[in-house]
Amino acid sequence: MPTPDQLAHLRDLLAQHCGIRVETTKLDGLSADLAAAALSAGLSFDEFCRRLAAERVFGRSQAWDALIPLVTNNESHFFRQLPQLRVLQETLLPDLVARAGGRRIRVLSAPCATGEEAFTLAILAEEKLLLKAGDALKIIGADVDHAALEVAVQARYGHSALRAVSPDALARYFGEDSAGWRLRARIRDRVTFRQVNLLAPHKTWPDFGGFDAILCRDLLIYCDPPKQAQIISNLAAALNPGGFLLLGHSESVGEGESRLRIHTTRDTVYYERVAP
């Protein structure tokens, strides 16, 4: 089992490389799972920590792929924080489409967990008839957790994830099989998933940059202030001028990011990327 010093080292690695703030007491409760993760990689726990420190490229590290699912919270559901999403659907996305002049709109959901938010965006866009023009809108879901992304790609969900979906929407956008409810192909095909660490420079993100809207909701609350600032800086850099950033209700950009202008509505707060 990991020693207290090893758990403290692991806590520091998570904060440094992922921006994830995990209390040592929580890690202590995961000791058996953490030991099993090291064992599954064929490593002692010291070797496991050294591998984590050395392998910073997510998607290519067995050690990180074993660790991340143990310390992240992937609980989500469709139509979460719906009033904010309605502002995106009714105001922001139509504005972006009108300004695009036929160019494809790119939207990022990060962290996307098991895909509920990214697919919700595709559903809302179809409801608004924004998908009628073929490839007018492309949605990318990004997360550091490889295991969560594997679930997202399958696009199959149970009752907990679907608890806010109306019976009419369930019938329109999902088909039922023996393993649950799966999104119909026309919605699945609108979303692409990528494994990305939002702390890494945005230019290193695969297929990333040039976004017209980014949703990054309820990630910053798990990060310390320096990591929050680093993530916000990366997101601002990844937005096109005139693009929009939406955060969680208890999150804000702060005062140090001059590239983002705040907008306040009755239902939400969002940020616009100003021109250089």
| Class of CATH domain 4-71 | mainly alpha
SS3 265: coil
On whether the CB atoms of residues 257 and 236 are closer than 8 A, the answer is: yes
- Compute the distance between CA of residue 182 and CA of residue 67 in angstroms, rounded to an integer: 28
Task: Read off the tokens for 26.
Answer: 């929580």
Region 233-244 average pLDDT: 95
What value does the mean pLDDT of the chain take? 89
Residues in Cβ contact with 59 at an 8 Å cutoff, skipping those fewer than 6 apart: 65, 146, 195
pLDDT higher for 31 or 214?
214
Torsion angle defined by CA atoms of residues 180, 177, 186 and 113, in that order, rounded to the nearest 10 degrees: 20
Region 194-221 average pLDDT: 85
Edge-to-edge, what's the strand order for the sheet holding 156-157? 156-157, 180-183, 174-177
Region 228-251 average pLDDT: 94
Q: Which CATH superfamily is domain 82-273 in?
A: Vaccinia Virus protein VP39 (3.40.50.150)
Mean pLDDT lowest for which of 70-74, 88-92, 150-154, 171-175?
70-74
Name the band, by pLDDT with cuts 50, 70 and 90, for residue 58.
low
Portion of the chain with pLDDT greater than 70, in percent: 94
Whether this prediction's pTM lies above 0.85 is answered by yes
pLDDT above 80 for 207: no
pLDDT above 90 for 231: yes
- If you write DSSP's letter for every residue of 138-200 in order, what string do you get? EEEEEES-HHHHHHHHHTEE-TTTTTT--HHHHHHHEEEETTEEEE-HHHHTTEEEEE--TTS
Region 197-218 average pLDDT: 84
pLDDT confidence of residue 57? 53
Mean pLDDT lowest for which of 9-23, 112-126, 214-228?
9-23
Portion of the chain with pLDDT greater than 90, in percent: 53
Which among 216, 198, 194 has a CA at the least distance from the CA of 206? 194
pLDDT confidence of residue 268? 94
For 147-204, write each residue's pLDDT tens digit: 999 999 999 999 999 999 999 999 999 999 888 899 999 999 999 999 988 988 766 7
- Compute the distance between CA of residue 114 and CA of residue 33 in angstroms, rounded to an integer: 21
Residue ranges covered by each domain of the chain: 4-71, 82-273
Torsion angle defined by CA atoms of residues 97, 99, 102 and 103, in that order, rounded to the nearest 10 degrees: -90
Name the band, by pLDDT with cuts 50, 70 and 90, for residue 93.
very high
On whether the CB atoms of residues 198 and 206 are closer than 8 A, the answer is: no
pLDDT above 70 for 12: yes
